[in-house]
Amino acid sequence: MKTLLITAALITSATADLLLKPGDAVIHNQSGSEGLQFDNNPVARLAHWSSIDSSPAWGIETDKPVSLEVIVLQGYDGPEGNTYTLSAGSNKLAGSVKPNGNWHQPAEVSLGKIDLPAGKHDIRIIPEKLVFRAVMDLHGIKLVGDTASIKVVPPNPPPTNPFKGPGKGEKLTEAHPAALIRNITPPGIDSTIGGIAFRPDGTMVVSTWDYTGSVYFIKGYESGNPDDLKISLFADGLLEPLGIATVGERIFIGQKHELTELIDHNGDGIADEHRCVSDAWPVSSNFHLFTFGPAFHDGKLYLNLAVSINPGGATTIGQPKDRGTTIAVDPATGTYEVIAAGIRTPNGLHIDNQGRIFVADNQGDYLPANKIMHIRQGRFYNNKYEPPHPWSEREISPPLVWLPQNEIGNSPTQPITLPASWGAYAGQLLHGDIHYGGLQRTFIDEVDGELQGVAFRFSGGLLGGTNRLAFDSADRLYVGIAGRGGNWGTGQQNGLQQITFDPAKTPFEMLAIRAKNNGLEIEFTQPLAQGQGWDVNAYRLDTWTYAPNSSYGGPKIGGASLKATSASVSEDRTRVFLEIPGLTPGNVVRTALHSALHSESGQPAHSAEAFYTLNRIPTDRPGTIITPPATIVRIDAITEADLPRHLVVHNTYCISCHSIDGSPLVGPTFRGLLGKSQKITRKDGSTAQITVDRDYILRGLVETTAEYPEGFQPIMPETLHQAITPEDIQAVVDWITTL
Amino acid sequence: MKLLFFSAFFLTGALSHAQSPVPERSGNLPVFRTVLDEKPRVLVIRLGSEHAIAFDCEDGILWKAWRAEPGQLPVKLQGAVYDGAHGPQPVSEGKFLFIDEKPQLICSDTSATLQYLGHSPQADGTAIVRWAFRNADHKDLAVIAVKPSFANDTITLHYKLEGTPSAKVALRTPGTDKPAQALSTLATSIALKP
């Protein structure tokens, strides 16, 4: 009898329920002040669960294997259709939210059984689909079974992707560790910087892209203290001056339709004459006929002439002569010659001390991604229009680097060569981006006499879109900030910043990647830690190409993962040769480093992702394969965290124009879109007041030109739906309706 | 001592601010290049508080003259650089004034072409605008400077040949029976009618 009683007691104990209380949950991605949170009024629960990106988790610890039934306490008064997954250790249970007519009185919904070994486990609810304004009110999770050995403990942080983070898959948010950035925005010049140059006496010359079209002289900038600035107005009334070149004492300005010399005849610091050097190229009134430059080289002034486009982004049919070209103007005669054609919106022109011309160009039709080109005489760079430029039948020259849209660029701007004082980076190119922001770096790799290269993110931490770069005589870099809404704007729309560089603070990161016959060789700024670098799982590689066509932008074509079959670390541990079968000439190869990879001093990589434009695979420089030493540091086989598809699509195609937090960007925010009253303009010009529903959101993805909302431009890419699978489109629509 | 302290304070305050002799500007500048009413390569010169004229830089003619509504600007600045809008460009606004004579420049060397040379801002808020007749060897045969003035609803264009011209230049008024006027220094008044 006694035995029987004890047994009964054990049975009672073993089958006691354990409630994972709402107040003990740790919430990941709270998603704003009104997102998922603990609410004790009138009853304890997790409420305001308006985003499927939010997930609550509990931790439990058991000293023996347990088998448990999982019951979710859910209160919900909405339509059927919300679904979720409950993960517990390696168990995954599917759940659906049934309406029970009361947010505050939960229904008990059993999801089934889980089996957990001894140890610590996280129990997390991950929403999958949301058809109403909230997933549910979650009143806890009841575990039924042998719970006596279970303790409730804090959960682990949600899984992270070792190949994601600032500098790999995401923008850099902080300044480069070796760069000291100072804000020296001149008082009284509240404007977008269109050009920066220096006179022989060190005076900085700055032009502003605004209604005043001004040129200023600035002295006292060296200290980086805006209080030391001495500013004077040199000229104004210029039309969209987007570049300056100083040639000795002479100052040349690129106006929208003219190359102009500003002349101070009497030396009083004010331009007495705006002399037209050349307006030999025909123009129209189209808003997009920008002139970028000038850059001076060998007696000529070089300019880039943008093509005419229609509002919305399509290239205008019928262009003035020689649009989409780089030209060289003879300042003595005003005549010009075309250097290269097939260019679209080339808001970046740089000629290095070897006379090499580098031009940045923006994605559009016949331009499937952003790029930097090495401009060579007589070449055609793929951007076409009708009627065609006479050079459009020439062989298409590939870019120095592709800059995939929204991954490492959006509207790239002026490149500049880094000087010797910038240490390991000397000779590389830096360029800005007026929309993506920050500074990006390009290492130039020469194969068979042609330049190709690899682009890295370099620095965040700047005020806004980065438009112009110029070095002073002490190699301090000046960054002109720009933006003006539309496609041209991120962060602040104006400003001037100074960067002083300390090479002693150069962080651990990829310095260069060079193509080899049989793979890629990565060079690091510092030695890898002893034993690191040999494990091929430390590198994630994928590849794709582009095909210019009449669509705006273009999807990646032939995307595929690559796998290194060996990784060979050099004796000094600063280089790793990755043997990679299946490399294809003409492709971009993306290389990301695992977060566990670090330097000898223990630093993780500052910027750990690179985009190599493999126009050519060399045949005369094989990579050396080295037998690994007996002991190497292995990185566990990596499986990329399963990022929900809607976030993959959003991060790739939507994020630069549509916020999810209500903040205004180029396009309407996704937050609160469903149910919003919205005036729209249809393709035929008619207007209507509508309430945003699921079909409207769907049309926004698959019929992008059908209509557009009041207050915005009709600039959605026409072929977006070709780049996204129908399943992903549905996932994005589902997700937007929850925000 | 107290006075000295305050003086030092003010001195410090004055020096701690960057020199910013940047004039406060808003609206239309006195002289500016623009696209206007769908014509590129235009130079606008404001005359007084309400009137404005626009030269077609490519043709060397006075293209438009108008009077803004009281308190309004003569040019509505719109477009990417002005208000972020993609597509529209600046337009003139106000009451247009009829120009019954638009004299054109002609050159004794008929193979020479007219080339815009730029402008020089003037202290009175106007500008001297220059063109040249340029031959096939890119030599400027004659440089013509034009300065507008405005009084009593009449615009006067003051023409002058600069330097040592190697060709003769005249003003001709198409559509009229006026003979071409040889140019050396010449003031041509153009009455503006409402």
Encode pLDDT of A171-209 as tens digits. 898 999 999 999 999 887 777 999 999 999 999 999 999
Amino acid at A57: A
Give the residue from chain A lying closest to B86, CA to CA.
A311
Pick from A392-396, A550-554, B184-188 the range whose average pLDDT is largest: A392-396
Whether B15 is covered by a domain: the verdict is no
Per-residue pLDDT at A2: 40
- Cβ contacts of A209 on chain B, cutoff 8 Å: 81
Q: How far apart are CA A225 and CA A313, in angstroms?
A: 40
Mapping DSSP to helix (H, G, I), strand (E, B) and coil, where does residue A588 land? strand
Average pLDDT, chain A: 90
Beta carbons of A276 and B77 less than 8 Å apart:
no
Whether B107 is covered by a domain: the verdict is yes
Q: What phi and psi values does residue A168 have, to the nearest 5 degrees?
A: -150, 105
- How many CA atoms, within 13 angstroms, populate the side-chain half-sphere of residue B54? 25
Per-residue pLDDT at B193: 54
Nearest to A258, CA basis, from B35, B25, B102: B35
Give the residue from chain A lying closest to B16, CA to CA.
A227
| Tens digits of residue pLDDT in A598-609 | 999 888 999 999
- Cβ contacts of B85 on chain A, cutoff 8 Å: 486, 713
Number of independent structural domains in chain B: 1
Q: How far apart are CA A313 and CA A551, in angstroms?
A: 10
Whether B122 is covered by a domain: the verdict is yes
Across chain B, which distance is largest between two alpha carbons, in Å? 83
Q: How far apart are CA A679 and CA B108, in angstroms?
A: 61
In contact, B148 and B175? CB cutoff 8 Å: no
Beta carbons of A276 and B115 less than 8 Å apart:
yes
Chain-centre distance for alpha carbon B49: 15
Q: How far apart are CA A422 and CA A505, in angstroms?
A: 11
Confidence of residue A523 (pLDDT cuts 50, 70, 90): very high
Q: B148-152 long-range CB contacts below 8 Å, 24 or more apart?
A: B148/B45, B148/B47, B148/B53, B148/B62, B149/B47, B150/B47, B150/B48, B150/B51
List residues bridging with A336 in a β-sheet.
A329
Q: Does residue A87 register a pLDDT over 60?
A: yes
- By Cβ distance, the residue of A256, A311, A335 closest to B138 is A335
Q: Which domain holds residue B89?
A: 31-193
Give the residue from chain A lying closest to B80, CA to CA.
A484
- State the nearest Cα–Cα gap between A549 and chain B, in angstroms: 23
- By Cβ distance, the residue of B40, B84, B117 closest to A285 is B40
User: For the domain bounded by A645-736, which CATH number is listed?
Assistant: 1.10.760.10
Whether B10 is covered by a domain: the verdict is no
Query: Distance of CA B120 to CAs A446, B51, B64, Å?
Result: 48, 20, 20
Q: How far apart are CA A368 and CA A588, in angstroms?
A: 13
Instruction: Tell whether A672 is within 8 A of chain B (Cβ).
Output: no
Confidence of residue B8 (pLDDT cuts 50, 70, 90): very low
- Cβ contacts of A253 on chain B, cutoff 8 Å: none
Whether B44 is covered by a domain: the verdict is yes
Query: What's the token pair of residue B48?
Result: 């007084």
Mapping DSSP to helix (H, G, I), strand (E, B) and coil, where does residue A82 land? coil
Whether B4 is covered by a domain: the verdict is no
| Tens digits of residue pLDDT in B49-85 | 889 999 999 999 899 999 999 999 999 999 888 887 8
**Which residue spans within A388-465 are E strands per DSSP?**
401-403, 412-417, 429-433, 439-447, 450-459
Q: How far apart are CA A579 and CA A566, in angstroms?
A: 5
Q: Does residue A487 register a pLDDT over 60?
A: no
- Cβ contacts of B162 on chain A, cutoff 8 Å: none
Nearest to A567, CA basis, from A528, A595, A603: A528
List residues bridging with A244 in a β-sheet.
A253
Say whether A645-736 and A15-158 share the same fold: no
Whether B134 is covered by a domain: the verdict is yes
Per-residue pLDDT at A664: 65
- State the nearest Cα–Cα gap between B129 and chain A, in angstroms: 10
* A726-736 vs A694-702: helix crossing angle, rounded to 10: 140
Per-residue pLDDT at A488: 60
Give the residue from chain B lying closest to A227, CA to CA.
B18
Confidence of residue A32 (pLDDT cuts 50, 70, 90): very low
- Cβ contacts of A275 on chain B, cutoff 8 Å: 117-118
Whether B83 is covered by a domain: the verdict is yes
Nearest to B94, CA basis, from B33, B36, B151: B36
Q: How far apart are CA A328 and CA A339, in angstroms?
A: 7
- Mutation target to probe the B interface, by most B beta carbons within 10 A, among A211, A233, A238 is A211
In contact, A521 and A447? CB cutoff 8 Å: no
- Mutation target to probe the A interface, by most A beta carbons within 10 A, among B26, B35, B37, B122 is B35
Q: What phi and psi values does residue A282 have, to the nearest 5 degrees?
A: -70, 155
Instruction: Tell whether A276 is within 8 A of chain B (Cβ).
Output: yes
- The mean per-residue pLDDT over the stretch B96-122 comes to 90
Q: How many residues does chain A have?
A: 739
Instruction: Tell whether A586 is within 8 A of chain B (Cβ).
Output: no
Residues 181-200 of A with CB under 8 A from B: 186-189
Question: So what's the architecture of A15-158 in CATH?
Answer: Sandwich (2.60)
Beta carbons of B81 and A212 less than 8 Å apart:
no
Instruction: Tell whether A314 is within 8 A of chain B (Cβ).
Output: no
Kindly give, in sequence order, each residue whose CB lies less than 8 Å from that of residue A309, ignoring residues fewer than 6 positions away.
A286, A288, A315, A316, A345, A364
Query: What's the token pair of residue B132?
Result: 């040249």
Mapping DSSP to helix (H, G, I), strand (E, B) and coil, where does residue A114 land? strand
- The mean per-residue pLDDT over the stretch A549-558 comes to 79
Buried b (16+ CB within 10 A) or exposed e, B44-77: bbbbeebbbbbbbbbbbbbbbbbbbeeeebbbbb
Confidence of residue A11 (pLDDT cuts 50, 70, 90): very low
Beta carbons of A484 and B118 less than 8 Å apart:
no
- State the nearest Cα–Cα gap between A283 and chain B, in angstroms: 7
Across chain A, which distance is largest between two alpha carbons, in Å? 117
The fold of the A180-423 domain, in CATH, is: Neuraminidase (2.120.10)
Give the start-to-end residue ranges of the domains of chain A.
Answer: 15-158, 180-423, 645-736
Q: Does residue A553 register a pLDDT over 80?
A: no
Query: What's the token pair of residue A166?
Result: 């600032």
- By Cβ distance, the residue of A231, A273, A279 closest to B20 is A231
